[in-house]
Structure 1
Amino acid sequence: MILIYENIGVSIQCINELIQQYKIDLEVVQKNDAYDKEKVKVIVTVNHKMDMDVLSSYPNLEMIAVSFTGYDSVCEGYCKKNGIAVYNAAGYSTDSVAELAVSLAKAVLRKIPELSNKMNDGKWQPVVGRELAGKTVGIIGVGAIGLRTAEIFKAYKCNIIAYSNTKPHDFLSLGKYVAWDELFSTSDIVTLHWPLNDETKGKVASREFQLMKETSIIINTARGPIICRDSLVEALKTNMIYGAGLDVYSSEPPNDSELEKLSNAVLTPHIAFRTEEALQRKADITIKNIRNYLTEQSNINRVI
């Protein structure tokens, strides 16, 4: 039995069609249906907390199909101890996230939300904005999304630099790697593309904002807690930096009136991955992962 634990962004009809397409011979149930937990072999989830209390109630669970890139919501220790395979949906939203990161940068530099609000209020008040062309963009994290973001910024005639622990060779056709401090001190735009873990949590804080130029901006479409929220608010309030474009927050929904009132912050409600195309790809990858696990065809996307 396959348990759809939460909404993965497509209809149950679409999921059933994919189940048939990949010839998976298992019943599909949703969390609110009546079902026998002992029959659940696969759980499909997105970011619901899959801790020991949840997982232990499914004694015959073999696989967790995370319909998302991040899988930090799954208890890694429990899965390893109990031989539960975990797969993620890597790569489904590469273009969607990269496109939003660049869009947020443009929105901050050209003050698009502010101007749109004024026009909606019947006010004709042109302001002077800033171009992307010629700006130095610092990419933090050069995985698939970071690399695609660099490609798009490059098309806007930006100079690209990056910080990476692994330093993939593919990036070198677009720009050069630099040290952490140099990236923050020389970039006009800093954009984050790291996963959230113990090493990255709170990594961007007061020290990094002090290194940045007053004319620079920061973009976060990765994970909210990578940036220290209080340090960011202080940097924006005091005009230590020019602005920020944020799609992710320390807690979601943020319920952060102080951040929401800042005119130099452009905010979106964690929509980077939410495009029709990306959600369909995500569902396809998720169900294909189940097929690959059940038939032992491939370990692609297996993370635990």
Structure 2
Amino acid sequence: MSKIIIKNDKGPADPVCFQVKGGLAMKILIVGHFSESAHSKITGHFPQDWNVVVVPPGEEMLQHIADCEVLIPEHIKVDQRLLANAKQLQLVQTGAGYDNVDVAACTELGIWVANAAGVNAQAVAEHVMALILSYYKNIPFLDRFMKNKLDEHQLEYTGGELQGKTIGIIGLGAIGNKVAAFCRAFDMKVLAHARRTVVQADGLVQMTDLDTLLSTSDIVTVHVPLNEQTKQLINKAAFEKMKDSALFINTARGGIVNQTDLIEALQNGELAGACLDVYESEPLPLDSELRNLGNVILTPHTAGMPDARKFHRKRYDFFIANIKRVANGEAPESKLNQL
């Protein structure tokens, strides 16, 4: 009899094991804040005879940590303290970002760590373009105007075309390359800065240093992981180098940007606007000043989730394939450590 365990705040769930090729029994633990709809989509996507336990962060999570073999940490830090309770853990599987995982600590304990690099590249790049177009075409304002049934003869607004504008892409991985390709289709000039050497076969992206990118771009978009080198990379000094007319976009990680400096730049006219999907603190506090700024477009960290809130079909397909690999004694794809 196949069984899926869906754990939420309403009651306990007793885990059972599933068998995979090779006879290895596994228990999968997903930790995060999910609605009932998200529960259904996520667990329903796994094979029906797999044991998938979904719990929010908290005390009950620690009970399941003790005997899970696979951990998918959506809203928790995987550090030495947590790992001390994870006696059976074999794989920590994340999405594209893995700044919440202590990879070195996992390696010391013989635990694989893998992310899903590139899986959400199309989704995030499309979201970036949607934000850019919404900003320059003033879509949020025009939508409110129409729905408020105002006199169209009194309509006044500013907008712009993308053709001829320069976009600066910080980080030229899977997502950055997708954004570059989309922007070229809009006849934009594309600059990029990357810590590692990037070879451009088509020659359509001009690699440059960060200062030149910041000072010459009409749009600056961030696509780097959050780590010690990129933490608060975009701060007051960076905003001072940007054009007063520039648009800043962040769909990567909130910690890459000093949010206080960003708000000050937006309020003082040092920056024309911003489009944000990620924040220093998530969910974005209800009293955040960002919610009150008319030159900002906000989305709730959904750039990489095109199928539904907290669900991305391609991502979970990747998770399932990687779990099967580890269950069969193989190394996971997109591994972040060596065992």
2:318 counterpart of 1:290: no
Match among 152, 155, 173 for residue 203 of structure 2: 173
**Structure 1 residues 86-134: Cα deviation after superposition (integer angstroms, max 9, x where no partner):** 1112222111100111111122222211221122111232423111111
Q: Contact 1:16–1:28 at 8 Å: present in 2 too?
A: no
Does 30-39 or 75-84 show the bigger shift?
Answer: 30-39
User: AA paired with 1:98?
Assistant: A
Q: Contact 1:246–1:267 at 8 Å: present in 2 too?
A: yes
Distance 1:52 1:130, change over 3 A: same
User: AA paired with 1:300?
Assistant: E
Q: How big is the alpha-carbon RMSD for the aligned residues of Structure 1 and Structure 2? A: 2.3
Q: Contact 1:96–1:272 at 8 Å: present in 2 too?
A: yes
SS of match in other structure, 2:312: helix
Q: Which residue in 2 is equivalent to 1:78?
A: 105
Matches within 5 A, 1:211-226: 211-226=241-256
Match among 30, 43, 68 for residue 12 of structure 1: 43
TM-score by length of structure 2 reads 0.81
CA distance, structure 1, for counterparts of residue 283 and residue 111 of structure 2: 31
CA distance, structure 1, for counterparts of residue 143 and residue 313 of structure 2: 31
Kindly tell me the number of residue pairs found equivalent between the two proteins: 296
1:171 Cα deviation from its structure 2 partner? 6.5
Q: Which residue in 1 is equivalent to 2:314?
A: 281
Identity score, percent: 33
SS of match in other structure, 1:16: coil
Q: Which residue in 2 is equivalent to 1:59?
A: 87
Distance 1:28 1:269, change over 3 A: closer
TM-score by length of structure 1 reads 0.90
Q: Which residue in 2 is equivalent to 1:94?
A: 121
1:298 Cα deviation from its structure 2 partner? 4.7
Match among 43, 61, 74 for residue 46 of structure 1: 74
Larger relative contact order (C-alpha < 8 A, sep ≥ 6)? Answer: 1
Distance 1:299 1:60, change over 3 A: closer
CA distance, structure 2, for counterparts of residue 3 and residue 103 of structure 1: 35
Q: Contact 1:29–1:35 at 8 Å: present in 2 too?
A: no
Q: Contact 2:112–2:332 at 8 Å: present in 1 too?
A: no
User: AA paired with 2:88?
Assistant: N
Q: Contact 2:263–2:290 at 8 Å: present in 1 too?
A: yes
Distance 1:189 1:73, change over 3 A: same
Q: Contact 2:103–2:336 at 8 Å: present in 1 too?
A: no
Q: Which residue in 1 is equivalent to 2:9?
A: none
> Which sections of structure 2, spanning at least 5 residues, go unmatched?
1-25
Question: Greater helix share, 1 or 2?
Answer: 1
CA distance, structure 2, for counterparts of residue 55 and residue 235 of structure 1: 41
Q: Which residue in 2 is equivalent to 1:263?
A: 294
Match among 149, 170, 174 for residue 179 of structure 2: 149
CA distance, structure 2, for counterparts of residue 171 and residue 116 of structure 1: 41
2:147 counterpart of 1:114: no
1:38 Cα deviation from its structure 2 partner? 5.3
CA distance, structure 2, for counterparts of residue 232 and residue 30 of structure 1: 36
1:39 Cα deviation from its structure 2 partner? 4.0
1:51 Cα deviation from its structure 2 partner? 2.3
